[in-house]
Structure 1
Amino acid sequence: MKKISTFLIGLIFTCSYSQIAIIKDKDGYTNVRKSSLKDTKIIYKLKENEAFWYNYDDYEEKKNWIQVFIPKDKFCVDYSEDMYLKGYIHKSRLLPIEYLKNSHQKEVQLHYEFKGFNRTNHIDDGNGYLVNKIDGRKIWGTDGNYPKREIKKANLIVNNTRINIHKVLYNDLYECNENIKVYKNKDSYFIKQQHGDGSGAYELIWVLTEKNGITQRLVQDISK
């Protein structure tokens, strides 16, 4: 179980725990409803292999309707009070990614090239000791301290095909490692990583296909 960050508790989420899931529906989509009543307004349609967060407490308590949190920005680049669409889907349509089959080790290879963090190469709002934003963006991997290292380049290969990861999708990610878990559903891959340490820990999910490249990036604070 993963605790949600303080800002998400206060501004976005109303649940205590969240996990990543996709849908399982023969129609290829699932209706997201405004509330946990069957006939309430449909506010969104989750498509096959579209990743989202769900209320772990609802799932554990075996409720018929599970609250879900769908990032409006599929790459979680934006950081605001209005980042997520909240709704409900029926429990029969929910599939946690941990229940997917593991990808073969040679199918997906992700390698980061690192360099030491140099403040003079960035614009930040800090004082040399503590910082909230770097280059105008929230930073992942620290709890207010300056990071020690950053990603210089991200190399992703899927079935011998090189997949481009634009620097916008990793220049807010700090204190990373290369430990990965890879899940697969049809032609989609889900790379799960945990970075940072202690109060700066966060979870990162890359969603991709060999044909279309990166289709989603989900990031959430999992610090305790």
Structure 2
Amino acid sequence: MKHLLILFFLLTTNAFAQGFFGDYAVVKDKNGYVNIRAKENVKSKIVGTLPNNTLVYEFLDEEFNPSNWVHIDSGYVHKSRLKMISEFPSIGEGKEKETENSITLAEKGISVTISTQKFDKTKHKITKKKHKYYEELIIDGKSAQGTDFIPENHYKSIVVNINGKNVSIPKSAYDDLYQVWVYPYNNEVYYDKEDDVLYIFVRCGDGANSYKVCWQIVKGEYKTRIIGEPLWPYIIP
């Protein structure tokens, strides 16, 4: 069964990498920042700025967004000022070390180990929040990502080492994420050596609740994460 799933992920990975839905990118501008415009042209009013290495998640694929402008925050940024994280060198691709509950990607002084554990419902507070058309699963006070039902598993830890230095990833960066898949093609790491920025990108979840996450580590310090929209129906573990 596991081999069939891996084959399925292989066949669909290209679609994800091309940003069939949203894509992760970072600001890269020679000025060190990019202007946010009120409208989709360079003469439009500047309504804000974003510094280099700001992580964003937007519709960048030409099929869905043929314009050279991307809507971010309160305005628009020109796509030429953004760089896809997948354009940075990958770490550990094709050299993954797997166990049933973990995967390690390591190369060039960088090591990332993602570990999962079974979900024990007796150790968590589980409630439902009613909305007009659906019920939201709440676990330990947070909206549960990846499932509408009691999850099978969740993250145990994310261990990162960069050039001999351990990077502390706070539990709050992953403790609301469930239905974790530790197959190679669901977990990718990219490294921007020039600015010393590491990106950990994963795909998780069940069916319509599938999701993407990207964690960003800047100069050896955890900075942020962005959760992307569901991938369904293009991936159903």
Partner of 1:24: 28
How does 1:172-211 map onto structure 2 within 5 Å? 172-178=176-182, 179=184, 180-185=187-192, 186=194, 187-211=196-220
Partner of 1:134: 139
Q: Deviations over 1:54-82 (max 9, x none)?
A: 223557654232223xxxxxxxxxxxxxx
Offset, 1:159: 2.1
Q: Deviations over 1:95-132 (max 9, x none)?
A: 222222324642432223333212221122149xx861
Q: Residue type matched to 1:109 in 2?
A: S
| Cα pair 1:59 1:66 within 8 Å, conserved | no
Q: Residue type matched to 1:96 in 2?
A: M
Distance in structure 2 (CA, Å) of the matches to 1:33 and 1:56: 17
- TM-score, normalising length from structure 1? 0.74
Could you tell me which of 93, 98, 111 is aligned with 2:86?
Answer: 98
Offset, 1:219: 0.9
Q: Deviations over 1:157-187 (max 9, x none)?
A: 2222111111111110112234422222221
Offset, 1:135: 1.3
| Cα pair 2:59 2:65 within 8 Å, conserved | no
Q: Residue type matched to 1:166 in 2?
A: P
Distance in structure 2 (CA, Å) of the matches to 1:158 and 1:56: 30
Offset, 1:51: 0.9
Q: In 2 relative to 1, CA 53–131 (structure 1 residues): closer, same or farther, beyond 3 Å?
A: closer
Could you tell me which of 64, 70, 74 is aligned with 1:66?
Answer: 70
| Cα pair 2:116 2:155 within 8 Å, conserved | yes
Q: Deviations over 1:120-151 (max 9, x none)?
A: 21122149xx8611112111121x11101122
Distance in structure 1 (CA, Å) of the matches to 2:114 and 2:84: 27
- TM-score, normalising length from structure 2? 0.70
Q: Residue type matched to 2:157 in 1?
A: K
Q: Residue type matched to 1:217 in 2?
A: R
Distance in structure 2 (CA, Å) of the matches to 1:156 and 1:109: 6
SS of 1:120 mapped into structure 2: helix
How does 1:135-154 map onto structure 2 within 5 Å? 135-142=140-147, 144-154=148-158
Distance in structure 1 (CA, Å) of the matches to 2:91 and 2:199: 9
SS of 2:111 mapped into structure 1: strand
Q: Considering only aligned residues, what root-mean-square deviation do their CA atoms show, in Å?
A: 2.5
Count of paired positions: 191
Q: Residue type matched to 1:182 in 2?
A: V
Q: Residue type matched to 1:124 in 2?
A: I
Q: Does 1:118 align with 2:84?
A: no
Partner of 1:8: none
Contiguous gaps of at least 5 residues in structure 2: 1-14, 93-105, 130-134
Q: Deviations over 1:31-62 (max 9, x none)?
A: 11222132333233221111102223557654
SS of 1:45 mapped into structure 2: strand
Where has structure 1 moved over 4 Å in runs of 4 or more?
A: 57-62
Offset, 1:193: 1.1
Identity of aligned residues (%): 26
Select the structure with the greater relative contact order (CA < 8 A; seq sep ≥ 6).
1
Partner of 1:161: 165
